Amino acid sequence: MEVHGTVYYETQRPPEVPAYVKNHGLLPQHELQTLLRKAKLFIGFGFPYEGPAPLEAIANGCIYLQPKFHPPHSSLNHEFFRGKPTSREVSSQHPYAEQYIGRPHVMTVDYNNSQEFDTAIREIMSTKVEPYLPYEYTCEGMLERVHAYIQHQDFCTPDAPFPPANSSSSKLGLSSPASPGPQFVLLPNSSALTWAPNANTPPAWPPLSSLRLLASQEGQSCVEACQRANLVCEPALFRFVNNKEALRGLEVQCEVVEAEVNHVFPAFSVLRRECGLQKDPLLYSCAGLSPKYRRLCPCRDYRRGQVALCRDCL
């Protein structure tokens, strides 16, 4: 295979580019698209994160090979994220391509494992793929998404507090003892809870019918916990699971329940039997994790090819 590059230079070839690379310099968009259509493999070197180039390559018929990060890159171990107010962990150069496109268009391997890398290259050499553009990146998919956002959300009225103030005598969000039944019920053949069909359903978007409440493992973020169940974490639904009803539904044993300002809450400690609810709604986080706590994760289902929308969102 020939190796081509598009490394920018003004007067002379950059010394960092090996001699065997056919470097085209900075290409106009139409010339880059032409080059991608002639190529079979597009290689990611680990940076930049989540850029558009891999998606353009896949849409032009390339297979995208990218590095898997062990451990995932985050503000704890990588200079790019250091000091940034985020707990997010990035598992590969383009997590969206890894999770929602996948093989045969995307291969994510450990670049430090020469045997795994070699096997991936040989597989790519013998694999033929057609150009692929996820539906959510088409004009129609974008318009569908914008339509759903505009039709189902009221940007002029703030979300009502939940639980409603007159349904609880507790500052921690207990539903009224006179309520007709539990707010959450166990899904058949699952460890996840869903909103009870006979419970009072407040207006919400995404709708509460899409909610799947899970408990993460210790040291696991809600992003990962939801992904393992083939779901996505939905920050907008945190306010409906930040209460004792959710803890009760998951059969959590709490000797102490406190409301705190902590980005991993709502969560609970099995060892200490301590439970924490979120005091500041601005700190609801899908990415937060702690080795001391199991988190309450508001996951939701999603439409294939339109991850931003749940199945009942249209």
Mean pLDDT of 90-102: 96
Q: Please check whether residue 120 lies inside any domain of the structure.
A: yes
CA-nearest of 29, 34, 30 to 4 is 34
130 and 11 both lie in a single domain: yes
Nearest to 173, CA basis, from 265, 283, 235, 294: 265
Q: In terms of residue numbers, what domain contains 20? A: 4-139
Answer yes or no: is pLDDT of 201 > 90: no
Residue in the structure block whose two tokens are 């044993």: 253
What pLDDT does residue 164 have?
66
User: Domain boundary residue among 139, 167, 202?
Assistant: 139
Q: Is residue 73 part of a domain?
A: yes
DSSP readout, 158-216? PPPPSS-GGG-SSTT-PPPTTSSS-SEEEPTTSS-EEE-TTS-----SS-GGGEEEEEP
pLDDT at residue 12 in the model:
85
Cα Dmax for the chain: 78
Min mean pLDDT across 40-44, 69-73, 131-135, 190-194 is at 190-194
Determine, yes or no, domain membership for 169.
no
Query: What per-residue confidence (pLDDT) applies to 181?
Result: 59
195, 291: one domain: yes
Neighbours of 311 (CB within 10 A): 15
In a domain, 145, yes or no: no
- Domain assignment present for residue 258? The answer is yes
Cα Rg of the chain (Å, integer): 23
- Please tell me whether residues 119 and 232 are part of one structural domain: no
pLDDT score at 170 = 45
Tell me the β-bridge partners of 194.
185
Residue 228 shares a structural domain with residue 284? yes
Residues 116 and 19 both lie in one domain: yes
Q: Residue range 155-178: average pLDDT?
A: 60
Query: Per-residue confidence at 200, pLDDT binned at 50, 70, 90?
Result: confident
Domain count, the chain: 2
pLDDT > 50? residue 168:
no
pLDDT tens-digit profile of 274-289? 999 999 999 999 999 9
* Token pair for 194: 């869903």
The answer to whether 117 and 126 have CB atoms below 8 angstroms apart is no
How far apart CA 208 and CA 196 sit, in angstroms, is 9
Buried residues in 114-149 as b, exposed as e (16+ CB within 10 A): eeebeebeeebeeeeeeeeebebeeeebeebbeebe
Specify if 149 maps to a domain: no
Asked if 124 and 65 sit in the same domain, the reply is yes
Mean pLDDT of 224-245: 95
19 with 105, same domain: the answer is: yes
Last residue of a domain, one of 81, 106, 139: 139
User: How sure is the predictor about 165, in pLDDT bands with cuts at 50, 70 and 90?
Assistant: low
Instruction: Compute the distance between CA of residue 118 and CA of residue 276 in angstroms, rounded to an integer.
Output: 48
Residue 109, in any domain of the structure: yes
Strand bridging mode 63-73 / 106-109:
parallel
Q: Evaluate if residue 178 carries a pLDDT over 50.
A: no
Same-domain pairing of 11 and 134 = yes
In angstroms, the CA 175 to CA 80 distance is 43
Query: Is the residue at 150 inside a domain?
Result: no
Which of these three, 118, 139, 160, is where a domain ends? 139
pLDDT number for residue 189: 81
Mark whether 34 and 112 lie in a shared domain: yes
Residues 277, 190: one domain? yes
**Band of the pLDDT at 30, cuts 50, 70, 90?**
very high
48 and 124 co-located in one domain: yes
| 124/30 same-domain check | yes
